[in-house]
Amino acid sequence: MSSVARAALARLPAALALLVAPLAPAAAQRDAVSEGMTAKTAALRLVEVGTWRFATRAADRRGRPLCREVWRFAADGEARVESGRERLTKRWRTLPGPGGLVRLAWQSIASNGAPDCTGTATDPASLPGPEADFVLLFLNDGSALACTPPPAAANPDNTLESAQVVRAEACWGRIVPAPQG
């Protein structure tokens, strides 16, 4: 067998794993699924860490995130978000998503009315607000990507099904465990 054929065969298991694994950003979702992250274990992880640092994927000309926040998750379903000068109180829960993805659903219930990291203020009189959700893709390094849920996709018989693919462009931020102490 030639060295080219041996090299191709050596790469075959990795190539097959990529073909059969649900796509996300592929590496991100593979990491999430490999840890067996479910809605329940994701909720436990969020509470276990407690305080997370969020940064947007969008960056300024120097490569710094356009927005940074601190997210705190409590076991009673309450979350506190610090964004700029704004302080939000939210209700949160995790839900199963398509293809084994984990969705975080939360609803703003109180705000101090100050501007957030983008300069936008939430009018406290408008709360509670509507529930919003997004996909969390947990990575082996302990962080998670925050992504827009995948859209529905048409099957060959024209029925709709939730897509299991999260495109890299759909991920708009990352949370990392805050340093303890």
Residue 124, preceding bond cis, omega within 30 degrees? Answer: no
What pLDDT digit, counting tens, does each position of 18-76 carry? 323 333 444 444 444 335 789 999 999 999 999 999 999 999 999 999 999 999 999 99
Q: Specify burial of residue 119 (Cβ count, 10 A radius: 0-12, 13-18, 19+).
A: exposed
What pLDDT digit, counting tens, does each position of 75-133 carry? 999 999 999 999 999 999 999 987 788 999 999 999 999 999 999 999 999 999 999 99
121, 89 Cβ separation under 8 angstroms: no
| Beta bridge partners of residue 79, listed in sequence order | 73, 90
Fold for 22-177, please state it: Lipocalin (2.40.128)
Domain spans, the chain: 22-177
Number of neighbouring beta carbons within 10 Å of residue 39? 19
Per-residue pLDDT at 150: 82
Which residue would you say has higher pLDDT here, 162 or 45?
45
Compute the distance between CA of residue 137 and CA of residue 116 in angstroms, rounded to an integer. Answer: 24
Long-range contacts of 120-127 (CB under 8 A, 24+ apart): 121/86, 122/86, 122/88
Is pTM beyond 0.85? Reply is: no
